[in-house]
Structure 1
């Protein structure tokens, strides 16, 4: 199995996070070093959740006593098969299962999860020594967005709950958020986050290409490339830097080499707005705008984003498609978009 960086660790509770069985033992104590592991993973930007066969209210109370409850998003504490619980967690976070690690002391539970989801990394909960040194749990960089990742997901949960209860159209709800989308040319201090976006994003990635920090640094100072990053904020907090457009600017043709959006903003239309911005710049310069696209089993939304924005397929070479933008009319950008000063 191709090794990938872990995006989410799913924990068992009894005899894994703590010693003892919650519904049977009077004395429950945290296992040595577990709190340190949880805190370190959180600092590195690795999300964490729970799949435990347990009494939900008792488990929540105990986690709060240990000061750990807030570290976990979308916890599944019930009597369902753990493979089912992990499936729900992956769906809620919107990540691929091959970026999930499951920690449980019971071999039976690990085997049950592996049987249903062979791509998940299963770890013996009794053998946590050395976990923090494993390459899967060590991102290349720890960015500001990494450190705040859990809090940003918790803000998303709050937004989603409010949106579900909102009586009105999606457009009307978006107006209540006081959105602020900022598009700027990338700076060197953005590159760690940009590299992280290329590594972590598969669903909203137009070509599936991963760029190293060194690659991005060369492109940043290249006279034939432009790199735009998008940050999104609203009244509940910041989504962080959540989008990227990498453009090759040669002679009379600009080519979008890579378009990436975080899955957390899938319903905010960020991809279309960024494309509109690039299209307007190309139109102003009276040049042709094309885009490379490599279809995968996960990036169909990006295909739709290009089509919806006015791109048409003009060439196909192997798996790669070439789109070309219709620049007949200037695209209107939402009023909440803040643009960089023209150079």
Structure 2
């Protein structure tokens, strides 16, 4: 079956072209971000909060950058404490990611959009999996920090799997990625193969990001291209692990994505996990993968991004580092709140935090 997706609105390409012609303002954006670095919680705090209780987490956050927003919008709510804290963390992340996007001009704005694709990729995958399983309780995993707006994901969640409503929401959303998601949903319905719909969504999303990158030549574009390459690696490694160590069908091996740092030939023909990663950006603590392997690879990618701010204080590296640190803080705090609520063992909870060791 050949899948044809509707032409993206002409305004999308026109907006990219007009933005690319603007003078970039990295110095302004980076100055604002450096001033915001002091707002991040110290790394050791996450391990301490994992040994506290929900009331302790609430008391601590009241005396941080989260305090004013919590007092204004959540403190007096009759929601359960867990839900109040989770809502606070996601609202704060949306606000901070949104501010970052609004500050950029020219290629600074375009590259910020490309970097935000990780949120859309994860939310899209979760949405497709919810549709495949017949669940109608889909909730976005990330705080709407991508090109697709928080409101778009909330409306999709409210559609309850209704295909006509999903198609309408995607048709009237102004971003090209909504068009890609709509086509992936149709592919899932027609083929019944989740991995094929996910692969199409991932490939088309990366194709969109690559098209934007063509407007952003120079060292800044090259750094963001490297980030995308490692994101592609994470997808390819997930497929490779599924085929060689999981329940993946052999046909999935044909659905690696091009453009990563790991050569396709190595992914196709290497049988050993250690040999697969040898001499690459990716490191493995053992010869064989385990259930934590993908988590450790993701942690490695995020910690690398955080170090980039030291390489060029006037380039896109500061934006990359800030985004990675903000995502890690959001994820750590959400993990702590969820873990404390479920009574997870403290040592186990600390082991799944994305903290710099």
TM-score, normalised via structure 1 length: 0.28
- Compare the two structures and name the one with the higher strand fraction: 1
The structure showing larger relative contact order (alpha-carbon pairs under 8 Å, at least 6 residues apart) is 2
- Compare the two structures and name the one with the higher helix fraction: 2
TM-score, normalised via structure 2 length: 0.27
